[in-house]
Amino acid sequence: MGVFQVRLLGQRWAKPLPSEIRLLKLAYGHGVWTREVQLMCDDTPWVFARTLIPPGTLQGRCRRLKQLGVRPLGEVLFADPGIRRGEIHIARIIPEHALHQAAVQGLAQAPAPIWGRRSVFHIDGGPLLIYELFITAFNSPEADHVHRCSALKGSPL
Instruction: State the Cα–Cα distance between residues 74 and 93, nearest whole angstrom.
Output: 23
Q: Report residue 113: phi and psi, to 5°.
A: -70, 150
Q: What does the pLDDT look like over 105-131, one tens digit per residue?
A: 888 887 789 999 999 999 988 999 999
The range of the structural domain enclosing residue 132 comes to 4-140
Q: Do residues 46 and 28 touch, judged by C-beta distance below 8 A? A: no
For residue 89, tell me if it sits in a domain.
Answer: yes
Residue at 151: amino acid letter:
A
pLDDT of residue 148: 54
For residue 123, tell me if it sits in a domain.
Answer: yes
Instruction: State the Cα–Cα distance between residues 111 and 3, nearest whole angstrom.
Output: 23
CATH number of the structural domain spanning residue 50:
3.40.1410.10
pLDDT of residue 139: 52
Closest of 53, 37, 51, 30 to residue 5, by C-alpha: 37
Q: What does the pLDDT look like over 47-74, one tens digit per residue?
A: 999 999 999 999 988 888 898 999 999 8
Instruction: State the Cα–Cα distance between residues 78 and 65, nearest whole angstrom.
Output: 14
| Cα→Cα distances 145→46, 72, 148, Å | 11, 21, 6
For residue 150, tell me if it sits in a domain.
Answer: no
pLDDT of residue 107: 84
CA 41 from chain centre, in angstroms, equals 16
**Judging by beta carbons within 10 Å of its beta carbon (0-12, 13-18, 19+), is residue 70 exposed, middle or buried?**
exposed
Q: Do residues 34 and 15 touch, judged by C-beta distance below 8 A? A: no
Mean pLDDT of 81-93: 92
pLDDT of residue 147: 47
Q: Is the pTM of this model over 0.75?
A: yes
For residue 126, tell me if it sits in a domain.
Answer: yes
Q: For the chain, what is the domain count?
A: 1
Q: What does the pLDDT look like over 144-156, one tens digit per residue?
A: 444 456 554 445 5
- As a whole number, the mean pLDDT across the chain is 86
For residue 71, tell me if it sits in a domain.
Answer: yes
Mean pLDDT of 73-88: 88
